[in-house]
Amino acid sequence: MSEATRLVIFGVVIIASILAPGSVEAHTEGGLAGGFISGFTHPILGWDHVVAMVAVGMWGAFLGPPAIWLLPVVFPLVMSFGAALGIIGIPIPAVETGIAASAVVLGLLILFAAKLPLWAANVIVAVFAVFHGYAHGIELPEATNSFAYAAGFVIATGLLHLIGIVFGLLIAWPFGAYAVRAGGGVISVVGLAFLFGIV
Amino acid sequence: MGFYVGMLHPLSTPPQLLALLALGLMLGQKFPRDFLVCWIVFAICCFAGVLLGQTAGMQGTENAWLLAICVIAASLAALLPNGLFLPWLVLTGGAGLLVGVLSTPDPGHWRATLISLVGSFVGANLALLFSTGGVGWLTERFTQHWVRIGFRIIAAWIAAISFLMLALVVSGASDSKKSSPSAGAQLVVLKRPLIDQSGPGSHQQDAAPTYSALHPIADIPTSGPARIGNVRNVHKADVAN
């Protein structure tokens, strides 16, 4: 086992040991664990959010370095800005349309293997991140622990990106590139379904 | 007891913990470049903040300012890991000052207050040393590209969490004016003692001071019994309630 692998395992154990006592302690929707679970599940319980965030990771993998990690850095930063707008109560028009459109656009970009310049990719992802963050911000439950909620919310988003990146790394193989592009097509169709209110 | 409670205080209050992590990620990626100067500035400002907190008291906006510093520091760590000395210095000094002010315990006997403040000062400085040194050591020890990328992604997450908390604190402050409590409001106005000072055998002079600025486990109601022994029990009792 390499030292890097041991480091990763050590990190996972440390994080698990920090989070586990809280989850054992509370057994309730409130409190630290409740707040974390509430925040963690919030992004992953809405399919429109899930497909868009996975698409960000997949597109990053398609674009290669540095986009593969820069997009997942930019997305949470801008998403928190959007969430802040929602929490404070500044109105943004057509939020649900923006979220559905993000899945359609990102899916199409993957489907057609679009290699846009890095700045353009960042701008596209940042614009859509505002809509996603805003939707989460206005739905923020009042009773939860805000720190735990925010941590769970951001970590879940990051993990969805990671899932997309891992799937996107399949492009290293010829069949994988087809699979990833097909995945982009599916994401786009899901986005269209949300856009036209079919689901 | 007071020293230990004070030492844990910066590590158990989310804004201070986020600030120390953000500073660690910001300074640690180029460790030990400029760290000593920044650490000295942090220590001096922290000391000044402790004095300021004792003389002028807290204004109620310190957490919001500290979270704003977290957002900037973590964003710098994520987007500009090579860093800029002057922003590093300003952010470190500002964070030190605010951590010092926020370490102000509730009024009590001067000796217990002093011991608690010394604990907070030592805890904050050690936390900055360990977070920066830890990031620096990992960066130097593991030269793989993904280690640096990992730190930048973690920094982006910390910036996002801080930004969300900042929004909650700001909206909580505005909500509280309308008498409708929210998560953010709870963060701002918590006023429950951490330590039972009314139990048998306790003496006001020897009891460790309490902190009312921001509870470590932030969502504790502002009413109800306070005969609780420690932080973890406070949380459990409130969950049970």
Report the percent of chain B where pLDDT is more than 90: 27
Summarised one tens digit per residue, pLDDT across range B143-154 is 887 888 888 889
Chain A environment of B79 (Cβ under 8 Å) = 73
Output the pLDDT for position B173. 54
Domain segments of chain B as ranges: 2-178
Vertex B218: Cα angle to B229 and B207 (nearest 5): 30
Among chain B residues, CA nearest to A134: B164
pLDDT of amino acid B196: 37
Are the beta carbons of B184 and A146 separated by less than 8 Å? yes
Of residues B147, B181, B239, nearest to A30 (C-beta): B239
Model pLDDT, residue B198: 40
**pLDDT tens, residue by residue, A29-73:** 456 666 788 888 888 888 888 999 899 999 888 888 888 888 888
- For residue B73, the model assigns a pLDDT of 93
Pair of tokens at residue A33:
């664990």
* Residues lower than pLDDT 50 in chain A: 9, 12-13, 15-29
In chain A, the number of structural domains is 1
DSSP code of residue A82: H
Residues 6 or more apart whose Cβ sits within 8 Å of residue B5? B116, B119, B194, B195, B208, B209
Q: Would you call B183 and A142 a contact, using CB atoms and an 8 Å cutoff?
A: yes
pLDDT digits (tens, 9 = 90+) for B91-145: 999 999 999 888 887 777 888 888 888 988 999 999 999 999 999 999 888 888 7
Query: What ipTM goes with this model?
Result: 0.75
Can you say whether the dihedral through the CA atoms of B111, B117, B123, B125 is positive or negative? negative
Counting every residue written for chain B, the total comes to 241
Q: In one letter, which amino acid is A31?
A: G
In the prediction, which pLDDT does A19 show? 44
Q: How confident is the model at residue B192 (pLDDT cuts 50, 70, 90)?
A: very low
**Residue of B238 and A146 predicted with greater confidence:** A146
- What range defines the domain where residue A177 resides? 3-195
Residue-wise pLDDT for B71-80, tens only, equals: 999 999 988 8
Q: What is the mean pLDDT of residues B176-199?
A: 38
| Window from A88-97, B1-10, B53-62, B193-202 with minimum mean pLDDT | B193-202
Q: Taking CB atoms and an 8 Å cutoff, what residues of chain A touch B138?
A: 7
What is residue A110's predicted lDDT score, i.e. its pLDDT? 92
Residue B239 and residue A31: Cβ atoms within 8 Å?
yes
In order, the DSSP letters of A91-156 are --S-HHHHHHHHHHHHHHHHHTT----HHHHHHHHHHHHHHHHHHHHHT--SSS-HHHHHHHHHHH
Indicate the SS3 state at residue B172: helix
Identify which of A99, A78, A69, A90 has the alpha carbon closest to the alpha carbon of residue A168.
A69
Mutation target for A interface from B71, B130, B163: give the one with most A CBs within 10 A: B163
DSSP letter (8 states) at residue A198: -
Greater model confidence, B1 or A26: B1
pLDDT at residue B181 greater than cutoff 80: no
* Residue of B197, B170, B148 lying closest to B63 (CA atoms): B170
Give contacts of A31 with chain B, Cβ < 8 Å: 217, 219, 235, 238-239
